Amino acid sequence: MYTLVIHGGAGALSREAMTEAIEGSFRNGLEEALEAGRDILGSGGTSLDAVEAALRAMEDNPLFNAGRGSNFTREGRIEMDASIMEGAGLRAGAVATVSGVKNPISLARRILEQGDHVLLSGDGARCFARECGLPEAGETYFHTDFRWEAMLRERERSEGSLSEDVLPENNPDDNPLTKRFGTVGAVALDEAGNLAAATSTGGTTAKSPGRVGDSALIGSGTYANNATCAVSATGHGEYFIRNVTAHEVSALMAHAGLSLREAADRVVNGQLAAFGGRGGVVAVDARGAIAMPFNTPGMYHGYVTSQGKRGTGIFEEAVTGDTPR
């Protein structure tokens, strides 16, 4: 049996501003990512391969704030973060502030496999990507007009934006759809009983050059442990870093005896919310139970299981039961 859960970002989504066309585009993107991971899990592949494949699909989709759709720094550059972890041996790989690499999650995977380090950043990360022969892409590949315009607006206001995503429309600045968080992530349990988690992002709109968010940090944005669960986070990264959010879900299961849903809810709607942290997580445990809590109006998310259960959601959780299969 297997389970795959993904997210495409959380934030101040508005039902009123969400058109059918926009919703359909994002749901299609989620379905494509689910299918990429399901194909691997359904053929007996590993959870590590599945979460990488799911994230590559979203990194290649400019609607999501990762890979091709990444936000710009206030200097007009692309700096991406990503991380991946397996629950069996607690191996992990991560990359921060990297540019020019088509799929940062695949670079994080190579760092995991190489084993000497966990986190590489900037030029060093790009050099390692070249040594591995990973595909590169030029500035035009990563350029999306709607993200460029969003960066210019934030820079003109001389304010650091907390918005990690915008939509490809000329929305007015007060439209909540331009003020939502955006990160992509996936967690999976494979038929061998192994867990894995992965997260990737382009960061915040008009962020300071060199800013590193939780998506690059094992324990904050990404965590997997076969004894407990796999977690990927999305939201205001600084709060997720301070609360070591992904690991905290695992710790509550291991040390307080909470179920996955109880632990995830306590972290997202308790600890994070108490400090003003906004966002959500997707998680799966060693039994295949799913949790997808968020304390923002919406979070793009979806799941698929070996029992044929499947769904995507935006404003409500796609599943309500503790064990969807």
DSSP string for residues in 122-138: HHHHHHHHHHHT--B--
Catalytic residue among 3, 46, 178, 183: 183
Query: Residues 18, 314: contact at Cβ < 8 Å?
Result: yes
245-296: per-residue pLDDT in tens? 999 999 999 999 999 999 999 999 999 999 999 999 999 999 999 999 999 9
75-109: per-residue pLDDT in tens? 999 999 999 999 999 999 999 999 999 999 999 99
Q: How high is the pLDDT of residue 319?
A: 67
On whether residue 172 sits in a domain, the answer given is yes
The span from the CA of 79 to the CA of 211, in Å, is 8
Looking at the 3D structure of the chain, how many domains does it have? 1
24-50: per-residue pLDDT in tens? 999 999 999 999 999 999 999 999 999
Q: How high is the pLDDT of residue 162?
A: 45
Phi/psi at 308 (nearest 5 deg)?
85, 5
On whether residue 320 sits in a domain, the answer given is no
Q: How high is the pLDDT of residue 129?
A: 98
The span from the CA of 127 to the CA of 33, in Å, is 28
Q: How high is the pLDDT of residue 11?
A: 80
Q: How high is the pLDDT of residue 181?
A: 56
Question: Which residue spans within 99-254 are E strands per DSSP?
Answer: 119-121, 184-189, 195-201, 222-224, 229-235
On whether residue 212 sits in a domain, the answer given is yes
Domain extent, residue 117, equals 3-313
Distance of CA 208 to the CA centre of its chain: 20
144-184: per-residue pLDDT in tens? 998 999 899 988 875 544 445 445 444 444 333 344 457 99
On whether residue 319 sits in a domain, the answer given is no
Mean of per-residue pLDDT scores for the chain: 91
CATH of the domain at 11: 3.60.20.30
Please name which of 30, 84, 65, 12 lies closest in space to residue 203, comparing C-alpha atoms.
65
pLDDT at 228 over 70: yes
On whether residue 78 sits in a domain, the answer given is yes
pLDDT band at 325 (very low <50, low <70, confident <90, very high): very low
231-242: per-residue pLDDT in tens? 999 999 999 999
On whether residue 300 sits in a domain, the answer given is yes
On whether residue 322 sits in a domain, the answer given is no
Q: What is the pTM of this model?
A: 0.93
Please name which of 137, 32, 173 lies closest in space to residue 24, comparing C-alpha atoms.
32
On whether residue 210 sits in a domain, the answer given is yes
The span from the CA of 14 to the CA of 312, in Å, is 17
Which residues, listed in sequence order, are joined to residue 92 by a DSSP beta bridge?
A: 85
CA distance to 18, 30, 154, 269, per residue, from 15 (Å): 5, 18, 24, 21
234 counts as catalytic: no
* 116 contact partners, CB below 8 Å, separation of at least 6: none
